[in-house]
Structure 1
């Protein structure tokens, strides 16, 4: 266990999932939907929030019929009053909550100089202000209760590294990363019993592309290496009961972070060359603006999207984050083996 994780464990001893009440925003599709189903299967009580009330009702009934405890609240996280309503629903239904997952998000595909200011502001209302409202609500609740709790914010590979075409989305994720790191330091300084985790997903196979507001001629998609939403849900639920600073989902997420930090100009040129063809499907015309979920709820109850490429079954990075000691032993063993082999061959 490294010093970072040791310090986190000392300040926030979190409950097991089966004993938790978990709030999940953006629960009607994609990562939020998968996380809700997996959390319920592990025995957690759930407070599900999204703008799509019909999908929330269907999901809640599905979970309740399977013997799980769940309630829902229709809410737009871009509105502070709606976020307060989510918390009040949790308190009324279960008396408290133990983990708050800021998962809700919207996307825009379009060049920075083309996207309207109105669309930019709407995206930031959900992606940034929704996280701020949720973070402060969760932290205040944990402070008031005087017991440890977890706050889990959804970052992105594009929060570590900018990108063409999704420049506005990337900017909102940069803001989330900065907010999360700053809030974590302030709470750590005051020794608050709050575990704050930032999730860094790579390309995930969800309806993200179908829901996005698009300025492109062709339909947005993820291409190349794509990870399942279950891998992100696994990371979220691990962080809910084990204090972690950051969890990367997919090797591409960590690779982009490392390349961008150490070789920024090279990374610029590489990504400029490949980003365009990995973000849309030239065989399909783009959805109309009215079909996006930027200003209203998108369709719900879909875990996967219509993405193209190599669809992975899991993320090794998430597995490594869950078993840090074993991972270090394996890496050390491989390193020693490599050094000995080099010596024998020299």
Structure 2
């Protein structure tokens, strides 16, 4: 599909991957419809898109509300007359031991990260079907393939997003039209404000687990999926290595990632008070693309650590396979 002049709806467009994706599409000459809870931040993104010569429509939206998501689709149609691409991206998270994480927080993460995607897909697909073409992009994660501790709700949601995407692809294959595509994006750790904004009940500050990739890398992958749709695309070499190794030695990778999360995803030096983060109310301010985690020297050092862990896992797995 041609990206220039396409109409793209993006949820979670106020920061992180969603914001980077909006700017990437604006750079390519697409019109963007920006959805998130923070109107102030969306206005900033719209201004940045306008500076790039793109048309931008701001529609403050809570994706847990199906009526609001339906209204988002109508506003896009009223303004542009069609929807070519819908990017389900809005997400929240909670860190905490399973038995100490409030049930309402777990429920909220699933409501945003799963039902928000359901609401988006149910709104977008009728428009795409009627047009006979279009792309629905669901942003999942490598933790939708390989789980990790202390983010149970987030992990469940990311697995569910992959399952939803696959099921929708099967249904479209049976009922058509063939010009409508459903793609899942599986990023590794991305430099976004998600970690600062997440709810936290671990007593330890959540930090981006290395290696950390820029949000623009995910945005480019999403733009490329519009040009050439694929079932799933993993963003980040470390993510591809982890997914591949998990297929060869799943039990070993569970143990490796458990240790890695405990050592590198939760700080041992910086405590954090219990907080529900941005689960029930959006973070204040104008938002940003990145979360400040991506210094080159630090990222390079962390990549070496991750590579060493993966190499160890591969060697141990190979020895066990030979036995």
TM-score band by shorter chain is 0.7 to 0.9
| Contiguous gaps of at least 5 residues in structure 2 | 301-323
* TM-score in terms of structure 1 length: 0.82
Contact 1:131 1:176 in 2 (8 A): yes
| Deviates most, 278-287 or 260-269 | 278-287
Please name the residue that 1:48 is paired with.
34
1: distance between equivalents of 2:110 and 2:246? Answer: 24
SS at match of 2:4: helix
1: distance between equivalents of 2:150 and 2:82? Answer: 41
Please name the residue that 1:60 is paired with.
46
Contact 2:6 2:85 in 1 (8 A): yes
2: distance between equivalents of 1:308 and 1:42? Answer: 25
Write out aligned runs for 1:282-301 (5 A). Answer: 282-286=268-272, 289=275, 292-299=277-284, 300-301=286-287
Please name the residue that 2:126 is paired with.
140
Write out aligned runs for 1:82-231 (5 A). Answer: 82-145=68-131, 147-192=132-177, 193-231=179-217
Deviation string 1:62-99 (CA, Å, 9 cap, x unpaired) is 32244320111000011101111110110111011100
Q: 2:299 aligns with which of 293, 311, 319?
A: 311
| Contiguous gaps of at least 5 residues in structure 1 | 1-13, 313-346
2: distance between equivalents of 1:308 and 1:95? Answer: 39
2: distance between equivalents of 1:30 and 1:215? Answer: 23
Deviation string 1:218-247 (CA, Å, 9 cap, x unpaired) is 210113211110100000111122111111
Please name the residue that 1:247 is paired with.
233
Larger radius of gyration: 1
SS at match of 1:225: coil
Cα RMSD, aligned residues only: 1.6
Please name the residue that 1:20 is paired with.
6
Please name the residue that 2:307 is paired with.
none
2: distance between equivalents of 1:170 and 1:241? Answer: 29
Give 1:288 deviation, angstroms.
Answer: 5.0
1: distance between equivalents of 2:273 and 2:242? Answer: 29
1: distance between equivalents of 2:5 and 2:160? Answer: 32
Contact 2:201 2:273 in 1 (8 A): no
Give 1:276 deviation, angstroms.
Answer: 0.5
